[in-house]
Amino acid sequence: MTSSVGVVTPQRMRFDQPLPLQSGAQLPAYELVYETYGTLNAQRSNAVLVCHALNASHHVAGLHADDPKSLGWWDNMVGPGKPVDTDRFFVIGVNNPGSCFGSTGPMHTNPATGRPWGADFPVCTVEDWVDAQARLIEALGIRQLAAVLGGSLGGMQAQAWALRYPERLRHCVAVATAPNLSAQNIAFNEVARRAIVTDPDFHGGHFYAHGVVPKRGLRVARMIGHITYLSDDSMEAKFGRELRDAELHFSTQDIEFQIESYLRYQGDKFSEYFDANTYLLITRALDYFDPARAHGGDLARAYAAAKAIRFLLVSFTTDWRFSPARSREIVKALVDNRADVSYAEIDAPHGHDAFLLEDPRYLAVMRAYFERIAADVTPGARA
Amino acid sequence: MTSSVGVVTPQRMRFDQPLPLQSGAQLPAYELVYETYGTLNAQRSNAVLVCHALNASHHVAGLHADDPKSLGWWDNMVGPGKPVDTDRFFVIGVNNPGSCFGSTGPMHTNPATGRPWGADFPVCTVEDWVDAQARLIEALGIRQLAAVLGGSLGGMQAQAWALRYPERLRHCVAVATAPNLSAQNIAFNEVARRAIVTDPDFHGGHFYAHGVVPKRGLRVARMIGHITYLSDDSMEAKFGRELRDAELHFSTQDIEFQIESYLRYQGDKFSEYFDANTYLLITRALDYFDPARAHGGDLARAYAAAKAIRFLLVSFTTDWRFSPARSREIVKALVDNRADVSYAEIDAPHGHDAFLLEDPRYLAVMRAYFERIAADVTPGARA
Measured CA to CA, the distance from residue B30 to residue B304 in angstroms comes to 33
Q: A62-67 — which CB contacts under 8 Å span 24+ positions?
A: A62/A3, A62/A5, A62/A6, A62/A7, A62/A8, A62/A35, A62/A37, A63/A1, A63/A3, A63/A5, A63/A6, A63/A7, A63/A8, A64/A7, A64/A8, A64/A9, A64/A10, A65/A7, A65/A9
Chain A residues touching residue B264 (CB < 8 angstroms): 190, 194
Determine, for residues B263 and A197 on separate chains, whether the beta-carbon distance falls below 8 Å: no
pLDDT at A241 > cutoff 80: yes
Rounded Cα–Cα distance for residues B9 and A6 (Å): 75
Cβ contact B241–A180 (<8 Å): yes
- Amino acid identity at A364: A
Give CA–CA dist B44/B53, Å, rounded.
26
Sheet holding B145-151, edge to edge: B11-15, B30-37, B90-94, B47-51, B145-151, B169-175, B310-316, B340-346
Please name the helix (run of DSSP H) or strand (run of DSSP E) that holds residue A300, with its range, or none: helix A299-303
Spatial CA neighbour of A1 closest among A47, A69, A52: A69
From B248, which residue of chain A is nearest by alpha-carbon distance?
A: A23
The DSSP secondary-structure symbol of B322 reads: S
Q: Is pLDDT above 90 for A159?
A: yes
CA distance B245 to A121: 23
d(CA B143, CA A133): 75
Say if residue A383's pLDDT is above 50: no
pLDDT at position B379, please?
Answer: 76
> Does the active-site annotation cover B319?
yes
Size of interface A-B (CB pairs under 8 A): 170
Kindly report the number of other CB atoms within 10 A of residue A343's CB atom: 18
Q: Is B317 in contact with B347 (CB distance < 8 Å)?
A: yes
Q: Is the pLDDT of residue A167 over 60?
A: yes
**Binding-site residues of B:** 222, 353
**Rounded to a whole number, what is the distance in Å from the CA of A309 to chain B's nearest CA?**
28
Using CA coordinates, name the residue in chain A closest to B241.
A183
Give catalytic status of residue B152 as yes or no. yes
Residue B287 annotated to the active site: no
Q: Do A186 and B259 touch (CB under 8 A)?
A: yes
- Cβ of B235 within 8 Å of Cβ of A184? The answer is yes
From A123, A183, A199, residue closest to B252, measured CB to CB: A123
Phi, psi (deg, nearest 5) at residue A116? -60, 145
**Size of chain A, expressed as the number of residues it contains:** 383
Quick check: A216 and B224 CB within 8 A? no
What does the alpha-carbon distance between residue B94 and residue B59 come to, in Å, rounded to a whole number?
8
Cβ distance B223 to A190 less than 8 Å, yes or no, reads: yes
Residues of chain A with Cβ-Cβ distance to B182 below 8 Å are 232, 235-236, 240-241
Q: What is the CA radius of gyration of chain B?
A: 21
Q: pLDDT for A91-145, tens place per residue?
A: 999 999 999 999 999 999 999 999 999 999 999 999 999 999 999 999 999 999 9
Nearest-5° Cα angle at A133, A129 to A136? 150
Report pLDDT for A382.
52
Sequential DSSP letters for B193-245 = HHHHHTSGGGGGGTGGGGT---HHHHHHHHHHHHHHHS-HHHHHHHTTT-BSS
Residue B183's region, left for phi above 0, alpha for psi from -120 to 50, else beta, is alpha
User: CB–CB of A250 and B22 under 8 A?
Assistant: yes
Residues 6 or more apart whose CB falls under 8 angstroms from that of B269 comprise none
DSSP state string for A73-123 = TTTTTEETTSSEETTT-EEEEEPPTT-SSSSS-TTSEETTTTEE-GGGSPP
Residue ranges in chain B assigned as alpha helix (H) = 126-139, 153-164, 183-197, 215-229, 232-238, 258-273, 276-288, 299-303, 324-336, 360-377
User: A297 to chain B: nearest residue by CA?
Assistant: B241
Is this complex scored with an ipTM above 0.90? yes
Distance CA(A279)–CA(A271), nearest Å, equals 11
Q: What share of chain A is helix, strand, coil (3-state, %, to 5)?
A: 40, 20, 40
Name the catalytic one among A319, A327, A350, A359. A319
Indicate which of B123, B252, B258 best probes the interface with A, i.e. most A CBs within 10 Å of its own CB. Answer: B252
pLDDT digits 0-9 by tens, A71-97: 999 999 999 999 999 999 999 999 999
Nearest-Cα distance to chain A for B256, in Å, is 9
* CA separation for the pair A179, B319 (Å, rounded): 25
Residues of B in Cβ contact (< 8 Å) with A223 = 187, 190-191, 194
A145 and A170 Cβ atoms separated by less than 8 Å: yes
Minimal Cβ distance to B252: which of A21, A183, A193: A193
Q: How many residues does chain B have?
A: 383
Average pLDDT, chain A: 96
Query: Which chain A residues are Cβ-neighbours of B197 within 8 angstroms?
Result: 252-253
The whole-number pLDDT of residue A2 equals 64
Question: CB under 8 Å to A333, separation ≥6 — which residues?
Answer: A179, A299, A300, A302, A303
Beta bridge partners of A37: A91
Confidence of residue A344 (pLDDT cuts 50, 70, 90): very high
- For an interface test with B, which of A250, A262, A265 has the most B Cβ atoms less than 10 Å from its Cβ? A250
Per-residue pLDDT for A381 more than 70?
no
| Cα distance between residue B272 and residue B219, in whole Å | 9
Spatial distance between the Cα atoms of B166 and B151, rounded to a whole number of angstroms: 19
- Taking only the tens place, the pLDDT of each residue in B119-168 is 999 999 999 999 999 999 999 999 999 999 999 999 999 999 999 999 99
CA distance A37 to B184: 39
Residue B81 has pLDDT above 50, yes or no: yes
Contact B260 A190 (CB under 8 A): yes
Nearest Cβ partner for B182 among A23, A25, A232: A232
Q: Chain A: give the shortest CA distance to residue B245, in Å.
A: 14
The neighbour count for residue A24, using CB atoms within 10 Å, is 8
* Burial A309-318, CB ≥16 within 10 A → b, else e: bbbbbbbbeb
What's the Cα-to-Cα distance from B95 to each of B22, B30, B50, B104, B152, rounded to whole Å?
Answer: 19, 12, 10, 9, 15
Q: What is the pLDDT of residues A170-228, one digit of tens each?
A: 999 999 999 999 999 999 999 999 999 999 999 999 999 999 999 999 999 999 999 99
Query: How many Cα neighbours within 13 Å face the side chain of A30?
Result: 30
CB contact under 8 A, A200 and B197: no
- Collapsing DSSP to helix, strand or coil, A277 comes out as helix
How far is the first Cα of chain B from the last one, in angstroms, to the nearest whole number? 36
Which residue in A152, A231, A315, A327 is the catalytic one? A152
Cβ atoms of A53 and A283 closer than 8 Å: no
CA distance B55 to A232: 25
Which residues in chain A are contacts of B22 at CB distance < 8 A?
250
Strand, coil or helix: A145: strand
Contact A198 B180 (CB under 8 A): no
pLDDT at position B383 over 90? no
Cβ A194–B24 below 8 Å, yes or no? no
Residue B31 DSSP class: E
B218 closest CA partner among A218, A220, A287, A225: A220
The answer, as to whether pTM is greater than 0.95, is yes
pLDDT for B382 equals 52
For residue A236, list chain B residues with Cβ-Cβ distance below 8 A.
182-184
Report the mean per-residue pLDDT for chain B: 96
A266: nearest Cα among A224, A235, A322, A233? A224
- In chain A, what residues touch B275 (CB-CB under 8 Å)? none
Give the distance from residue B119's alpha carbon to the nearest chain A alpha carbon, in angstroms.
8
Domains and CATH numbers, chain B: 11-180+290-377 (3.40.50.1820), 185-283 (1.10.1740.110)
Q: Is the pLDDT of residue B233 over 80?
A: yes
Percent of chain A with pLDDT over 90: 97
Q: How many whole angstroms separate alpha carbon B198 and alpha carbon B321?
A: 25
Is A182 in contact with B235 (CB distance < 8 Å)? yes
